[in-house]
Amino acid sequence: MKPGKEGRRPGFPGSGTALALGAALGAAALYILAAAEEPGAAFRAFFLSPFARPTVLANLIEQAAAPCLCALGTALVFRSGDFNLGGEGQAYAGGALSVLALLAAPSLPGPAGLAGGLAAGAFAGAFVALPSALSRRNLGADVLLSTFLVSQAVVLVLDWAIAGPLRDPASNLIATPVVEAAYRLPRLAPPSWLSFAPVLAAAAAVALDRFLRSSRRGLELTLFGRNPDFAVSMGFRVRAYAFWPLLASGALNGLAGALLALGANGRAVRGMTGGIGWNGISIALLAGNDPRLILPAALFFSWLETGSRQASILAGISVDVGTVAKALVLLFATARFLGTARRKGTA
């Protein structure tokens, strides 16, 4: 199976997206109806409370930023014909290294330190992706497996490091010490955690969109993703296209991790990424790997998460409802339907 190589499927474009959204929301609603003691309150908590207070809404927007960056990286790699399944470890490494770098450099001016921390995070993410990118370019090795496996190993090593040598003994949390307050993401609207991160994510989305749709290299990358032999015969720089998208994706994941670490936490907490890599993949797929739709999709996911958290606090509904809803999004995100269920079996 090769993600980029499948032909265009018939059926209404976006019908899968509609089905995915419908199934996710329907499942959440059904569960609330069946399990909640007061369905009405639970409904309000799940679906509406994220919008009820500006602080919650601002946090919702802030929380969409990091997964959005992950999704952009996923989409870029997808366009080049592969899947980066290592988002989790890349983001974790990004978060950890950004904190470590800033702990080691306590006396920089605030913005310079923050920029340096984010850069360190992007570097760490790219570094985790580097072996997979190198082996893809030089040996044609399988990215799907190698990114996942490297990432799993990195996650476990970081889990150990944060619980062991890097741990702040003074804290109850299994976490590193907190970085200087000046290095943390500036809060634009306290008490919410809203920072410039959503703007960064939006800017990245616009940049990726322009690159893919209106640049020669973007077209070449897309064509390479669909048919590498063709790209070779057209004289494209295929070695670059086999390498840089994956590295850039790693950097975006690392940057996302750094944003998480330098935001609300201000430190690297054990297991801090909490499935952000997988969310990034789901969001990219929900958006059909179109950079223009990735930020809205990320906001939708953030809403699901905020809603399920609010419902668990306010109405005692399990947060796993959000996980199920996200799973259904993923299940149907790539579907096309309405009258096209029976495809002609002619290849």
Partner 1 sequence: MNPMETLAAEALAIALPILLAALGGLFTEAAGILNVALEGLIVAGAFAFAVAAEGTGSLVLGVAAALACSAALALLAAAAADRLSANPFVAALAVNLLVAGAVGLASEHVFGTKGVVPLDGLLSPRVELGFLSGIPFLGPVLFRQRGISYLLAAACAIAAVAYSATPFGLRLRALGMKEGSLRIAGVDPRAVRYWAYAASGAACALAGIALARSIGAWVPNIASGRGWIALVVVYLGRKRPAGLLAAALGFGLLFALSNAAQSVLSVPPELVLALPYAATAAAALSGGARTRGRTDRG
Partner 2 sequence: MAAEPVLEVRDLSKTFPSTGTVALSGVSLSLSAGEIHAVVGENGAGKSTLARILAGLDRPDSGRILVRGREVRFRRPRDAERLGIGMVPQQSLLAPGLSVAENVVLGHEPRLLGILLDRRRAYYETALASANFSFPLDPGSRISRLSPPERREAEIVRALARGGDVLILDEPTSILTESEAETLYGLLKRLRDAGASVILISHRVREVLSAADRITILRNGSVVDTILPAETDDCDLALRMASSASCFTADGPAESGGQAVFRFLGANFRDSERVTLRDLGFTVRRGEIYGIAALAGNGLGALEDLACGERICDSGAVELLGRNLVDWPRDELRASALSYLPTDRDGRGLCLGATILENLAARIGSPGDWSRRGRAARRAEAFRLLEDAGGRAPPDAPIDMLSGGNRQRVLCVRELGTFTPAVLAANPTQGLDPRAQEETWNRLRSRAREGAGILLLTSSVDELFSVADRVAVLYRGRLTELGIRTGSVTAEAVTRLLTGAAA
Q: Does 2 bind partner 2 (CB under 8 A)?
A: no
Q: Is 320 in the site for partner 1 (CB under 8 A)?
A: yes
User: Considering the complex, what minimum distance in angstroms separates the CB of residue 219 from partner 2?
Assistant: 6
Binding mask 170-209 for partner 2 (x = CB under 8 A): ----------------------------------------
Residue 227 interacting entry, from partner 1, partner 2, none, C-beta within 5 to 8 Å by type: partner 2
By CB under 8 A, what part of segment 85-144 binds partner 1? 131-132, 135, 139-142, 144
Please, what is the Cα angle at 46 between 43 and 47, to 5 degrees? 80
CB nearer to partner 2: give 78 or 300. Answer: 78
215 counts as binding partner 2 under rule CB under 8 A? yes
Mask for 279-298, x = binds partner 1 (CB under 8 A): --xx--x-------------
Q: Of 148 and 243, which has the nearer Cβ to partner 1?
A: 148
Site string for partner 2, 110-149 (x = CB under 8 A): ----------------------------------------
| Interface with partner 2 (CB under 8 A) | 4-8, 10, 214-216, 219-220, 222-223, 226-227, 229-237, 344
